[in-house]
Structure 1
Amino acid sequence: MSAPPIRTLLVDDEVLARLALRQALAAHADVDIVGECGNAAEAQQAIQALEPDLLFLDIRMPGIDGFKLLHRLKPQALPMVVFATAYGQHALRAFDASAIDYLMKPIDQARFDQAMARVRRHWHGLHAPAAATHAHAAHLQRISVRVGEHIRVVAVDEIDWIRADGNYVQIHANGTRYLHRETLSHLLAALDPARFLRIHRGVIVNVERIREVHPLFKGGAEVVLHDGTRLDLSRRFRAGARVALGLP
Structure 2
Amino acid sequence: MDNSTVPLRVLIVDDEPLARSNIAVLLARDAGIQLVGQCGSAEDALEAIAAVKPDLVFLDVEMPECDGFEMLDRLGLSPPFAIIFVTAHHQFALRAFEVGAVDYLMKPFDDQRFQRMLERVKERIRIPGETRRFIVKNGNILHVVKYAEIDWIEASDYYSTLHSGERTHMLRRSLVDLESLLTPYGFCRIHRSAIVNLDRIRALEICKEGEYEIVLEGSQRLRMSRRYRKPILDRLG
TM-score (norm 1): 0.55
2:117 paired residue number: 115
> Unpaired runs of 5+ in structure 2?
130-149, 156-160, 164-178, 201-229, 231-237
Structure 1 residues 147 and 94: alpha-carbon distance in aligned structure 2, compared to 1, 3 A threshold: closer
Q: Which runs of 5+ in 1 are unaligned?
A: 128-142, 152-161, 192-226, 228-248
User: Which of residues 189, 194, 202 in structure 2 aligns to 1:172?
Assistant: 189
Cα distance, 1:171 vs structure 2: 1.7
TM alignment of 1:184-223, pairs within 5 A: none
Q: CA RMSD in A?
A: 3.6
Q: 1:37 aligns with which of 12, 36, 39?
A: 39
Aligned partner of 1:89 among 85, 88, 91: 91
CA pair 90-122 structure 1, distance change in 2 beyond 3 A: same
Equivalent in the alignment of 1:54: 56
> What is the TM-score when the length of structure 2 is the normalising length?
0.57
Q: Which moved more, 1:18-27 or 1:98-107?
A: 98-107
Whether the aligned pair in 2 keeps the contact of 1:10 and 1:36 (CA below 8 Å) is: yes
Given that 2:15 and 2:63 are in contact with CA atoms closer than 8 Å, whether structure 1 keeps it comes out as yes
Query: Contact 2:72–2:79 (CA<8 Å) still a contact in 1?
Result: no
Q: CA deviation at 1:169?
A: 7.9
Determine what percentage of the aligned residue pairs are the same residue: 38
Deviation at 1:75, TM superposition (A): 3.1
Structure 1's 42 and 146: CA in aligned 2 closer, same or farther, altered over 3 A?
closer
Q: CA deviation at 1:41?
A: 1.2
Q: Given the superposition, is the C-alpha separation of residues 170 and 49 from structure 1 closer, same or farther in structure 2, using an over 3 Å criterion? A: farther
Contact 2:154 2:193 in 1 (8 A): no
From 18, 22, 26, give the equivalent of 1:16: 18
Q: 5 Å matches for 1:123-162?
A: 123-126=125-128, 144-145=151-152
Write the distance in 1 (CA, Å) between the matches of 2:127 and 2:98: 21
1:119 offset after TM fit, Å? 1.4
Shift of the alpha carbon at 1:9? 0.3
Separation in 1, partners of 2:100, 2:36:
22
Distance 1:47 1:170 in 2: 26
- Note closer, same or farther for the CA distance 1:126–1:50 as it changes in structure 2 (3 Å cut): farther
SS at match of 1:60: coil
- How many residue pairs get aligned? The number is 161
Deviations, residues 157-186 of structure 1 (Å, cap 9, x unaligned): xxxxx63169x986235x756334x7xxxx
Q: Relative to 1, partners in 2 of residues 1:21 and 1:146: Cα closer, same or farther, differing over 3 Å?
A: closer
1:101 aligned residue: 103
